[in-house]
Amino acid sequence: MFAALVTSLALYVTWAISWRFLRKLASDSLPGPAPSSRIFGNIPDFFSPKGWEYHRNLLERYGGVVKMRGFMGERLLAVHDPAAIYSILVKDQEDYGLSIPQLLRQELILGPGLLAVHGDQHRKQRKLMNPVFSAKHLRDLVPLFYEVAERLRAVLRKQLENGPQEIDALFWIHRTALEIIARSGMDYSFDTLEGNDQHPYSVAVKGLPGLATGPAGFLVPRLVLPYTAKIKLPRLKRFIVERLPLQRVKALIHASDTMHRTSVDIIETKKKAMESTHPEVVAEMANKKDIISLLMRANAQAAEEDRLSDEEVIGQVSTFVFAAMDTTTSGVTRILHLLATNQDVQDKLRKEILEAQEFGQVDYDKLSLSPLLDAVCRETLRLYPPIPIMPPRMASRDMVLPLSKPIVDLNGKQLTEVIVEKGTNIVISNLASNRNPEIWGDDVLEWKPERWLSPPRKSVVEARTPGLYSHLMTFGVGSRGCIGFKFSQLEMKVLLSVLLSSFKFSLTDKPIGWRMSGIVSPIVEGNEGKLQLPLQMSLV
């Protein structure tokens, strides 16, 4: 009996794999690179931490929609054509939802926040949270941004009292970004920025991107979570997972637990304040301007059918921190590295900032009207998006994908649209979209902030790339575009204005590389196991 069962299972697996390889689909005629692995297809190369050249090759050799293979021959399309992106993320977004495995992974790690829900639940959360990220509320947060940034300035000044030193910029920007989010997002403090001790939450969230992304972060949810989600015995699942002899799994559990406990503590404290019988406590809570307090007040006033559950509100804390901290850290550290490499731009930017500070702190309006600061941020986020690849989508039915530029298929036929079969996985390359030479010109791979100091090229306007931000896909688009992209821009500008007005950044003799894994992070070449950005710093 057992032997027959094993034989039947083996035959089924063999048939399923053969069916994937042998059946012919319209998308099979699309050009694309040969798989490097019979089992994992192109996934190890596409999601590699060192995948920069691979992605550049995809952009230069193939069209706006590239055919690849996933696990066991699964069809996978990599997309950067503007018209195709618009169809996937805006026009037909209901037919290209986030894949269920990815949603399950997000919920498992972060809880049922904005990144982990879809359909009506996502629309409800987004509707309630959109006003919280309005320009009016962001304006109120600027003093909190400065309060934390000034703490960082004081700490670094003290370290540089005796002359220039090599400083790990990543270490300090990461801690500062978390504290800014904690103060402005939750009215909470994780870090005084003094000494080297860090809050357990900081340690947990710092390691999360490396644990949850890359090839394993793409494959494991697809192979495991759809099946384990059907088992409605959470304690049993927890018992089994905790005994898996995998250090990566244990670290992920610890990080998720630490973040969840902290999120619960923050929300419970705020709930008690809102429900207090002491008028002064209630009044204090009613005047708080942090994002989670605003969300909780809006939630309490919403109609019953629009209200979020406690679990959903708790999930927003970890979601907000995870989505904002490492992306902002990546953007700021990349800018500091580029300014250390391009001293002339650093000097001009410092001059602009100091002139803006002549009559006091650079407020919300001055930050918005600082042309070179804005250009440096935009150009960096164009050429080096912190998230180079968007989470995978899946076609829920057979679709026709339009193209802004025709593709010549393997049979020599010119295609103006691509047939996408139901179940096809799609990954959108922010990196390729932002680096398309037909849109941005032959100098697309050069870091040139001055391209933003004049009106955009005709090709940029006509391409109609459907991004939220400056014709770029850096922050996505559509209902799942980054809700906090204005928050991130503002935070970056405050940090840069404070740091550059006091410090000069230069390169050391250590060669810096950048890991393309989930969220782009700096390393020292030859020491890839440690994320760091050593820069020479001195007082201005």
Distance CA 17, CA 40 (A): 12
CB 113 within 8 A of CB 315: yes
Collapse the DSSP code of 173 into the 3-class scheme (helix H, G, I; strand E, B; otherwise coil) and give the result. Answer: helix
**What pairs with residue 37 in β-bridges?**
41
* Token couple for 184: 């402005």
Instruction: Provide the pLDDT for residue 15.
Output: 45
Instruction: Provide the pLDDT for residue 345.
Output: 98
Q: How far is CA 155 from CA 256, 373, 535, in A?
A: 30, 24, 16
**Residues 26-58: tens digit of each pLDDT:** 788 999 999 999 888 999 999 898 999 999 999
Binding residues: 482
10-24, 212-226, 227-241, 385-399: which has the highest mean pLDDT? 385-399
Provide the pLDDT confidence category of residue 20 given band limits of 50, 70 and 90: low
**Residues 442-470: tens digit of each pLDDT:** 999 999 999 999 999 999 999 999 988 88
9-18, 166-175, 226-235: which has the highest mean pLDDT? 166-175
Query: 360 pLDDT exceeds 80?
Result: no
Our CA dihedral for 425, 431, 437, 440, rounded to 10 degrees, sits at 120
Query: 19 pLDDT exceeds 50?
Result: no
* Token couple for 160: 């540089």
Given CA atoms 124, 426, 255, 51 in this order, what sign does their dihedral have? negative
Q: Scanning the structure block, which residue is given the tokens 């270490």?
A: 171
Residues in the chain: 540
CB 309 within 8 A of CB 283: no
75-79, 226-230, 526-530: which has the highest mean pLDDT? 75-79
How many other C-beta atoms are found inside a 10 Å radius of the C-beta of residue 229?
15
| pLDDT average, residue stretch 65-88 | 93
Ranking 67-76, 105-114, 128-137 by mean pLDDT, the lowest is 105-114
Residues 6+ apart with CB under 8 A from 46: 54, 55, 68, 78, 389, 427
Provide the pLDDT confidence category of residue 438 given band limits of 50, 70 and 90: very high
- Phi/psi of residue 37, nearest 5 degrees: -140, 135
**Residues 148-195: tens digit of each pLDDT:** 999 999 999 999 999 999 999 999 999 999 999 999 989 999 888 887
Instruction: Report the chain's mean pLDDT, rounded to a whole number.
Output: 86
Instruction: Provide the pLDDT for residue 196.
Output: 75
Distance CA 417, CA 287 (A): 53
User: DSSP character for 466?
Assistant: -
Residues 6+ apart with CB under 8 A from 29: 409, 410, 411, 413
Indicate the burial class of 440 (C-beta count within 10 angstroms; 0-12, 13-18, 19 or more). Answer: buried
**Residues 362-389: tens digit of each pLDDT:** 777 888 779 999 999 999 999 999 999 9
Given CA atoms 286, 190, 378, 404 in this order, what sign does their dihedral have? negative
Task: Give the closest residue to 523 by CA, choosing from 189, 171, 236, 209.
Answer: 171
Which one is predicted more confidently, 338 or 365? 338
Which one is predicted more confidently, 148 or 13? 148
Provide the pLDDT confidence category of residue 236 given band limits of 50, 70 and 90: low
Binding residues for heme: 482
* Token couple for 147: 């309060």
- E strands in 325-442: 393-395, 399-408, 414-420, 425-428
Residues 6+ apart with CB under 8 A from 34: none
Query: 221 pLDDT exceeds 70?
Result: no
Ranking 7-16, 50-59, 524-533 by mean pLDDT, the lowest is 7-16
Instruction: Provide the pLDDT for residue 13.
Output: 46
Instruction: Provide the pLDDT for residue 242.
Output: 61
Collapse the DSSP code of 425 into the 3-class scheme (helix H, G, I; strand E, B; otherwise coil) and give the result. Answer: strand
Task: Give the closest residue to 101 by CA, choosing from 255, 1, 217.
Answer: 217
Provide the pLDDT confidence category of residue 231 given band limits of 50, 70 and 90: low
CB 64 within 8 A of CB 404: yes
Provide the pLDDT confidence category of residue 62 given band limits of 50, 70 and 90: very high
HEC secondary structure over 494-524: HHHHHHHCCEEEECCCCCEEEECCCCCEEEE
Q: Has this prediction a pTM greater than 0.85?
A: yes
| pLDDT average, residue stretch 248-262 | 78
